[in-house]
Structures are given as C-alpha cells and as structure tokens.
Structure 1
C-alpha cells in the first residue's frame, strides 16, 4: 500500500515538472504564456534602448549621441508682389511690349486697356470779366436752365449746359436751349476719343527685380507702384459701417 502511494507521488511530481518545462504543450497542457509577440513587432530600434543607472551615465549618453540632422535647406517660395503703372499712351506701350516679352514670361504681365469715347458739350464762355460771368449766371438761373460752372480747365471761366456722347445729340440739346431763350451757347468737342493703358505685374519676385528695374527705366515719369491691397472682411465691415458722428434723423 505504501509503495503504491510513493509511486503515485513520484509520478505526480514528474507530471508537474514536465508541465512546467513545457513538454506537454503539444497535448494542451503547459504554463500560461506571459509574453506578447505583437508588442515586439511594434518596437522601433529596441537595440538603441539604454538603461541609465545614474546622472553620470545620462550625461555620457547625451554627449555621445549624434547631433540631429539639420533642417532641410530647400529654397522656400520667395514672396512676390504686385506692381502697376500709371496711365500709358500707345507710344509708351509700343516701347514696352518687346521689353516685356524679353524680360518676363507672358503670364507675368498684363496691359489693361481703357477706351474713352469722344464727348461733346453745349458751352457758354469763356468770360474773362467777373461781372460778365455773374450776369450770365443770373440769366441762366432766371431761365431755369441747369448749368455747371467750369473752373481750372482750358474752358474756364465758363458754363457747361450739358455733355453728350455724339455731336448730333449735342446739337439737338442746343436747339432745345435756344427755344428756352439761351442765345450765346454753342456746341464744342470737349474730348476726343482715346485709348490708354495700365501695365500690371501681378507677381514679381526678388528674382525678377532686374526686369522691374529695366521696365522702370523705360517709363520715365511713370513710376511703378505697388497694387492696392484688397480689404480684409473686418476692414470691409469697418468701411461700410456708418460713422458714429453721423447725426440721427
């Protein structure tokens, strides 16, 4: 009886030992696994890990660590600016065109064209004496004719009784005024038809500065200036807001 109990204890101990060593894993018996292989796969350069025991070790590791790589020195985009000219005539534009084509790409410049049509005026004047000017003003007021006093122009001192887009319409306007009692008015051409231009350089960088200087040299008396900046939303709101000093009705 005792021999049987001793034999069972020996066999039980052998089974526990074999299980602890993992010899019975093939049969579903064995110790619980305590490692997580998926965490090992997520490690980045585990061989670089250093366990520091004191401040001296930390200082030594810091001194031997390689310096960080310098930041990329790739060229950043150069800020560009918009430039524009004053009013240019056709002769100035003819001089500029070949220079623009040689110095700048086609998308870097724009010639904005403005056309002014001819205009005619029903005119009275000029009156060199102040007394005569005052007399004519009084007469037009009595006739209830609308007029505009011309000053600081080649036609001053005098009166404009209306401007018209065609000579025929100006003559028709004069006939109507004659019927109302106006006697000394006449039709003149106030302005001839003309074409003017404005040069605009939407995006000029520091690399194009030499081209900008060349263009400026070809435009004596017509300095290139920075384009006006568009208003930001807060500035637009401030500009459209009524003044606080405006009296209330």
Structure 2
C-alpha cells in the first residue's frame, strides 16, 4: 500500500515537472510560449506586448481613422471651395467715348489711323460748338432713345402741336424734340409761352452756339480692347482729350 502511494506521488510530481517545463504544452492561452516564439519566422523582429497595451492600441485605432477621414473631408472641401471661386467678370463696354478737339488737318490724319479698326457705324464725327450764340432753340430735352422721342412727339400731336421734329443728329440734343429755332431770345420765349398754353410742360429755351472749326470723334460700344487701341492712336495727338458722351 505504501509502495502504491509512493509511486502515485512520484507520477504526479513528474507530471507537474513536465508541465512546468512546457513539455506538455499550455492550456490557459497565456503569453508565456517560448518554444512557439522560437518556431516563428524572423523571431527577432517580433515584440511581445502586454494585454493591457494591446487593448489600448485597439481602442485608439478608431479615433485615428476618424481623424484621418476628417482631414480628408477638410481637404476635399477646401479644394471644392477653391474650384468654386467665380472667375472675374470682364469689364462692360463703354456706351460712348468722344475724342477731340481736332483741327481739320489733324482730324483727317486721325481718321486715317482709325481705318484699320473697321468700326463702321460705331464711329462718327461731329463739329464742336463755338463760343458765340448764333440762335435760340425751343425744345423738349433728349428722351434717351428714338422710340422715347417718338412717343413724346405723339403726345405733342395729341395737344395739337404740329410744328416739331425729332432731333437725330449727334449733337447733345440727340433724341430731343425741336419746337422751333429763333434768331432772338425774345422770339423763342414767345413761342415757349404759346406752347405752355397748349399744355406743353417740359419745353425749354436753349441758346445755340456758332459752329467752330474744331472736330470731335465719337465711338460707341467701346470694349476694353478697343479702348486700348484708341488710347494708343490718341497718344500721337497730344492736344486732344477723351470724354464720355451719350
């Protein structure tokens, strides 16, 4: 009996010794597996970490991914905003530009320099007014367009006024309505008084200046490129200036 107990204890101790030395493997799944580590490829490149450190690494991975996604979205939004910046709009053309004043010989030379631009109806020439009063005109001020001037003329006909005409030249009174031209201011004022009695409320008297020997050129729908060309030509005519017109 004692021999059996002795043999049993010896077997148990041998089993515990073998287990402690790793000869029987490990069943708890813990981290101490030196023989398995030695059987790995490139064991020197492997690093053992604790379970606590491994859990921290796993917990931080989603946050890193979220930050990366946020940075990507920010970059994409910045690129979209940069691409959505509207381009600068081109400058609108000028309605009317006048260049003067020219004596006749200089006007002819200037006109010859304009020929290659082929402006057609967009270019016109006019005589500049003098400094002395030559007559007085009774008129309704410019209406802005021929259509508006024609409507004003129809209103005059409705009031019984028949002596009128729409001004269509390139003078400052263009698209106004003339109601008579008189040599003296007194005669013009008498005509205005008669028109007022007929119900005309917007007519007025304006002195007309005598013609001069000076000329000016007018240009319409002047785009920036055309304005640059005109400025380049005008540079050879230092006694002229540029002004807007209607």
Confirm or deny a common fold (TM above 0.5). Answer: no
Higher helix share: 2
Q: Report which of the two has the higher share of strand.
A: 2
> Which structure has the larger Rg?
2
